Amino acid sequence: MVSPVAPPSVDMRRPDLRQWLALVVVLAGTCLVELDLSIVNVALQPIRTHLGAGVTEAELIVSGYTLAFGLTLVTGGRLGDLFGYRRLFIVGVLAFSAASLACALAWAPVPLIGFRVLQGMAAGLMLPQTLSIIQLAFSGRHRARAFGLFGAVTGIAAILGQIVGGLLIGLDVAGLSWRTVFLINLPLGLAAVIGALFLLPENRKNDRPSLDLAGVALLTLTLLCVIAPLVLGGGEHGHPLLLVLMLLAVPGTVAFLRWEKRTQRRGRLPLVDPDLLQHRNFQAGTGISLTFVAGNIGLFFLISLYFQGPLGFSPLKAGLLFTPLALCFGIASLVAPRIGPWAGRHVLTLGYVINVVGTAALLGAAVVYGRGIPEVAIVVPLAVIGFGEGLGFTPLLNIVLAGVPARDAGSASGALETGIQIGSALGPALLGAVYSATSAFAWGLGVNLVLAALALAFLPMVATSRRETTEEESGHRTAAAPAPVKAAP
């Protein structure tokens, strides 16, 4: 067994200006990652025109980033544990910026696909460090607020990516067209690196265990079996053999878990601590994030298809209809930490119920009006969904990561983000398949409603004790000693 680290001293004082500025720096990196998950969608048609890319190549430009991102997250998190979060954050931002410049200079589809893969790998190195830095730099209600800001940036950046991309391509600065969606990353990346050098703590590691390379290989292959069929399973390049990969993920998972337990018994540092996988809050958080994110990212994908297909909306109009959702998501992300002290963990319940209500309202409007659905019947349910997402997502990160040992902060952050990325790939694949098979918007929304309800099913596993919340805000719970978890009534 790996011996627990000594409990760190918990500073419950109000964070100073330097800490908040450091938060701005790491959130700038988060903004880069999330923007590039969606901003390229609106640039695909100009890319196809200018580079002569086919449908398969266009899809790989999007999915290559997602695939590499999902495969790198856990390893990137553990590398942060070993070599320092500041160092890995800077390396990740620099690599992401360099890959973005290479994407902008791409001369053919295949090099662009390769550079997008490098972008995704750099994002996988960068993002877990953000969650780890927030977890270790803040505590109590200040940590909840920091995670609230992280959630707001995550949701808003992903949604605004489509709007920003449309505006940049429409402006066609210096005749650069689609290349501007990659070039915009350079000033943001440069600012993040400069800020990190001056504001982020060094946190050098005196004891540096070796990286669990066998665990990295096993986990990467297992995740490849799960994520690849989801992001590559459709279009011209889809093949039934991809489904075989999903079956191979089962023995891959078993082999990975057995190796991690063996590594822990030998007194070495595993890639993912097996004890972490037994933590009920972490299990619930992973399940919730996967189903909740799958439903909502799948909804965005489904709506984009329907708006620009049967309804005939322009890309810009389709993107602007998401604006109320983005605003309500941001508002709820800031509200959630304020109602947390009296609502406890039931703030999640409130968020998921609101999300279900909004989804059901949109489904009802689609059934009643069909293709003649008025815009108000779209915008209002989307605003409700956005508010539910903000309440249900941002507190989740704080709840799941609160009891994680300090030495496993990066690994846990990467594992949680991996679940989110699997959900991000699962949602569009599932809802897109249903929509393609039925050509019915309502059927796709029905699947989304089921996923939203499944997120509620994991809530009984999440601790809801007011005492636990009070202890954490008082500094009684340490990062090395998770509080006991009891099921919700």
The rounded percent of the chain whose pLDDT value lies above 70 is: 79
Model confidence pLDDT, tens digit, residues 319-353 = 677 778 878 887 887 787 777 667 666 788 888 89
* Residue 190 pLDDT class (50, 70, 90 cuts): very high
Instruction: Give the other-Cβ count within 10 Å of 186's Cβ.
Output: 14
Q: Is the pLDDT of residue 235 over 50?
A: no
* Residue 214 pLDDT class (50, 70, 90 cuts): confident
* Residue 99 pLDDT class (50, 70, 90 cuts): very high
Average pLDDT over residues 224-252: 69
pLDDT value, residue 186:
92
Six-digit token string for 156: 């808003």
Q: List C-alpha distances in Å: 67 to 113, 219, 243, 322, 452.
A: 12, 14, 16, 25, 24
Residues 35/186, Cβ–Cβ less than 8 Å: no
Q: List C-alpha distances in Å: 376 to 162, 303, 304, 324.
A: 21, 15, 17, 11
Residues 178/43, Cβ–Cβ less than 8 Å: yes
The CATH H-level superfamily of 17-203 is MFS general substrate transporter like domains (1.20.1250.20)
* Residue 411 pLDDT class (50, 70, 90 cuts): low
Phi, psi of 84 (to 5 degrees): 105, 135
Six-digit token string for 294: 């799958």
Q: Is the pLDDT of residue 438 over 60?
A: yes
Average pLDDT over residues 55-64: 71
Q: Is the pLDDT of residue 410 over 70?
A: no
- Give Cβ neighbours of residue 258 (< 8 Å, ≥ 6 apart): none
Closest by Cα among 408, 412, 385, 418 to 399:
412
Q: Which CATH class for the 275-483 domain?
A: mainly alpha
pLDDT value, residue 485:
30
Six-digit token string for 358: 């909004």
Are 17-203 and 275-483 the same fold in CATH?
Answer: yes
Average pLDDT over residues 305-329: 74
Q: Is the pLDDT of residue 477 over 60?
A: no
Residues 331/388, Cβ–Cβ less than 8 Å: no
Tell me the residue length of the chain: 489
Average pLDDT over residues 240-255: 79
CA atoms of 112 and 58, how far apart (whole Å): 10
Average pLDDT over residues 232-252: 68
Q: Is the pLDDT of residue 270 over 80?
A: no
Q: Where are the alpha helices (DSSP H) in 402-465?
A: 409-438, 441-457
pLDDT value, residue 203:
64
Closest by Cα among 483, 451, 402 to 144:
402
Least confident of 4-18, 199-213, 259-273: 4-18
DSSP, res 485: -
pLDDT value, residue 481:
32
- What does pLDDT average to over the chain? 76
Domain locations along the chain: 17-203, 219-270, 275-483
- Answer left, alpha or beta for residue 207, where phi above 0 means left and psi between -120 and 50 means alpha: beta
